[in-house]
């Protein structure tokens, strides 16, 4: 502890006294980066841990790709055999370790990319809630994503805190979220939102409306997790695949769960239109609405034997 009396100070400054009394006082973005670096590497810029994570913020290959500094050779394994992009004059891992300014710039870019990912995964819908004793703030989400990725943070939130995965050192995502819940990171979160690339829309919709069909291991990369989500999707209703859905069809959440990537691309325009106009119902919800409409008068039927149903306030003609 700092000894004010030894320094000839008889009264403790009010600002210092406030910090000591109020443990929940909101800290600044600079303090967020400082404390995050302290937790990751004790603030050291030139370290690489046994898993290949590098620098003050212990960034791996995947983080460096998101920040725009690196292109991997194959999959993300932190062996650093890929190609550096030359951003900030960084052409090798050693360049990166020797350049504190580049590390700070890379972390800022990475945090902005992570915030977009958290939006895409639906994590920001939980802002303001309290889960497992943690106030879900923007800084809590970013810290959790730094530790274990945005997918794991979303999984923690959607499970109400029941699925709380650790990193390779045994630190749980909730540990970081709780530790970093009281920081003002508005310069990151208020940055204009960048929509996902077209190729990512399929995964975003499947995640939001189809559910997450893979419980990731602490040792899987985000890309490996995403691949297994697609591989492990179930088809309990035996819905047909391999062709475009007829015009006028109402897509259900089950349809999206069982749809291949090629089918999604083929039907993307109609799916996005329905998502915007009336949402994506479950198959049960659609059947209930369909059954209730059958009690209507014959005036509600068309000449071809179809009937009208109401979905989210919209009247839609269903073919029998």
Residues 32 and 166 in one domain: yes
Task: Answer whether residue 291 shows pLDDT above 60.
Answer: yes
Mean pLDDT, residues 248-268:
73
Range of the domain at 290: 284-320
Q: What is the secondary structure of 281-301 as a DSSP string?
A: --HHHHHHHHHHHTTS-GGGB
Residues 188 and 258 in one domain: no
Look at the chain and report how many structural domains it folds into.
3
Residues 308 and 181 in one domain: no
Residues 151 and 81 in one domain: yes
Write down the pLDDT at residue 275: 72
Which CATH number covers residue 110? 1.10.530
Q: Of the candidates 194, 210, 232, which is a domain's last residue? A: 194
How do residues 13-65 score in pLDDT, each as one tens digit?
333 333 334 456 789 999 999 999 999 999 999 999 999 999 999 999 999 99
Residues 203 and 156 in one domain: no
Strands (E), 10-87: 70-71, 83-84
Strands (E), the chain: 70-71, 83-84, 130-131, 134-135, 307-311, 314-318
Write down the pLDDT at residue 231: 52
* pTM as predicted: 0.56
Residues 38 and 139 in one domain: yes
Residues 52 and 187 in one domain: yes
Residues 136 and 199 in one domain: no
Write down the pLDDT at residue 118: 94
Task: Answer whether residue 122 shows pLDDT above 70.
Answer: yes
Is position 18 within any domain? no
């Amino acid at each position: 502890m700092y000894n004010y009396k030894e320094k000839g100070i008889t009264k403790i400054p009010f600002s210092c006294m406030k910090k000591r009394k109020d443990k929940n006082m909101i800290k600044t973005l600079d303090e967020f980066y400082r404390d995050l670096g302290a937790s990751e590497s004790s603030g050291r810029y030139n370290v690489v841990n046994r898993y290949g994570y590098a620098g003050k913020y212990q960034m791996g290959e995947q983080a460096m790709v998101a920040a725009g500094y690196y292109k991997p050779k194959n999959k993300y394994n932190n062996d650093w055999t890929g190609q550096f992009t030359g951003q900030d004059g960084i052409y090798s891992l050693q360049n990166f370790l020797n350049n504190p300014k580049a590390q700070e710039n890379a972390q800022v870019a990475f945090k902005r990319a992570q915030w977009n990912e958290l939006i895409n995964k639906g994590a920001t819908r939980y802002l303001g809630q309290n889960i497992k004793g943690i106030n879900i703030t923007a800084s809590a989400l970013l810290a959790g994503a730094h530790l274990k990725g945005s997918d794991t943070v979303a999984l923690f939130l959607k499970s109400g805190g029941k699925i709380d995965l650790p990193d390779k050192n045994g630190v749980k995502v909730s540990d970081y979220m709780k530790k970093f819940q009281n920081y003002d990171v508005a310069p990151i979160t208020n940055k204009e939102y960048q929509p996902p690339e077209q190729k990512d829309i399929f995964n975003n919709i499947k995640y939001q409306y189809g559910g997450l069909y893979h419980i990731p291991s602490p040792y899987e990369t985000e890309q490996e997790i995403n691949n297994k989500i697609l591989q492990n999707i179930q088809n309990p209703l035996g819905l047909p695949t391999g062709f475009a859905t007829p015009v006028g069809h109402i897509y259900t959440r089950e349809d999206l769960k069982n749809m291949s990537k090629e089918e999604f691309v083929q039907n993307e325009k109609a799916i996005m239109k329905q998502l915007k106009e009336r949402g994506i119902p479950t198959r049960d919800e659609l059947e209930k609405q369909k059954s209730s409409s059958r009690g209507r008068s014959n005036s509600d039927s068309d000449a071809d034997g179809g009937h009208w149903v109401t979905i989210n306030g919209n009247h839609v003609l269903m073919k029998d």
